[in-house]
Chains A and B, each alone.
Chain A
């Protein structure tokens, strides 16, 4: 997992859910359930990531961002121009 992008995702999560304990987040678990994110929180995380990384994240790709591992892989592909 790309450490820089992992930190970017964790920072975005912390910005949206400042009370969440991110220290032991299971990288393969659904982040919404692990961290008590509702749909609006999730969209805010997507917005943070889009803004921080300058990438457009279309709605159809949201399921790929449901876990930490998935989000990092998606963003790595998106920021390097590869097909996510």
Chain B
């Protein structure tokens, strides 16, 4: 890495979670009262497990950085649910049996994951209509599994950027344009900062992308 890249690079700590069959005692023990209430309100059992495991992993990731007790990490959430704690930028996502959490000290970070087996159909036409022109052109040239996987890469990259910005789905999807190969983000009309993204697929069958408000991006994988 050149000196320029070192200076302009965001360092993101990232951990992935294999979601268990049921909420573990260890995960439950580190959640605070608000998180437990949030999890208990969920009507789909699998979602409760995913949410608890991912929230606990995020606490452990922060605790490793700050040297604190995971249960004592003061996590708060923004308008669209984006987490923050101790001045750190955080993001979390889950899909199927996979959770993923990310932390960055200096710039906003976002992460998203989609399990391929939950997206076996073609992307809906109304979804494709919302993509940026370069994304539609690229997908038009592809078919079958390659088309679905490329769509999920584009989607997770968009989601990661929107989560980092903290605006949720309240802006047009084409405000973030993704070149998937190599992975590049164009979002200058939405947010004038540089945006860098990286594929961080946790395992075969799961597409994950992390993005940060930086020119380059370095990912340190952690175990939590």
Q: Do the two chains belong together in a single complex?
A: yes
A residues adjacent to B (C-beta < 8 A): 20-21, 29, 33-36, 38-40, 42-44, 46-47, 50-51, 59-60, 62-63
A35 to B48, CA, bound (A): 11
Tell me which residues across on chain A come within 8 A of B46, comparing CB atoms. Answer: 36
Given contacts A40-B114, A51-B126, contact A62 B170 (CB under 8 A): yes
A34 to B39, CA, bound (A): 10
Identify 12 residue pairs between A and B in the complex whose beta-carbon atoms are under 8 Å apart, listed by A's number.
A21-B43, A33-B41, A34-B41, A34-B43, A35-B44, A36-B46, A39-B159, A43-B169, A47-B124, A60-B171, A62-B169, A63-B168
Tell me which residues across on chain B come within 8 A of A42, comparing CB atoms. Answer: 169
Is B126 a contact of A59 with CB atoms below 8 Å? no
Judge whether B155 is part of the interface by a CB distance below 8 angstroms.
yes
Q: How far is the CB of A40 from chain B (nearest CB, A)?
A: 7
Tally B residues with Cβ within 8 Å of A.
22
**Interface SS of chain A:** helix
Judge whether B172 is part of the interface by a CB distance below 8 angstroms.
yes
A21 to B43, CA, bound (A): 9
Task: Give the nearest-CB partner of A29 in chain B.
Answer: B41
Judge whether B47 is part of the interface by a CB distance below 8 angstroms.
yes
Q: How far is the CB of B128 from chain A (nearest CB, A)?
A: 10
Tell me which residues across on chain B come within 8 A of A60, comparing CB atoms. Answer: 170-171
Judge whether B42 is part of the interface by a CB distance below 8 angstroms.
yes
Is A59 a contact of B169 with CB atoms below 8 Å? yes
Name the contact of A36 in the complex, choosing from B44, B127, B130, B155 (C-beta under 8 A): B44
A34 to B114, CA, bound (A): 19
Given contacts A39-B169, A40-B114, A62-B170, contact A34 B42 (CB under 8 A): yes
Tell me which residues across on chain A come within 8 A of B114, comparing CB atoms. Answer: 38, 40
Tell me which residues across on chain A come within 8 A of B170, comparing CB atoms. Answer: 59-60, 62-63
Judge whether B82 is part of the interface by a CB distance below 8 angstroms.
no
Tell me which residues across on chain A come within 8 A of B41, comparing CB atoms. Answer: 29, 33-34
Is A50 a contact of B43 with CB atoms below 8 Å? no
Is B126 a contact of A50 with CB atoms below 8 Å? yes
Q: How far is the CB of A52 from chain B (nearest CB, A)?
A: 12
Judge whether B95 is part of the interface by a CB distance below 8 angstroms.
yes
Is A43 a contact of B43 with CB atoms below 8 Å? no
Is B43 a contact of A59 with CB atoms below 8 Å? no
A29 to B43, CA, bound (A): 11
Tell me which residues across on chain B come within 8 A of A29, comparing CB atoms. Answer: 41
Is B43 a contact of A44 with CB atoms below 8 Å? no
Is A35 a contact of B126 with CB atoms below 8 Å? no
Tell me which residues across on chain B come within 8 A of A59, comparing CB atoms. Answer: 169-173
A39 to B42, CA, bound (A): 16
Task: Give the nearest-CB partner of A41 in chain B.
Answer: B118
A24 to B35, CA, bound (A): 23
A29 to B42, CA, bound (A): 10
Task: Give the nearest-CB partner of A17 in chain B.
Answer: B44
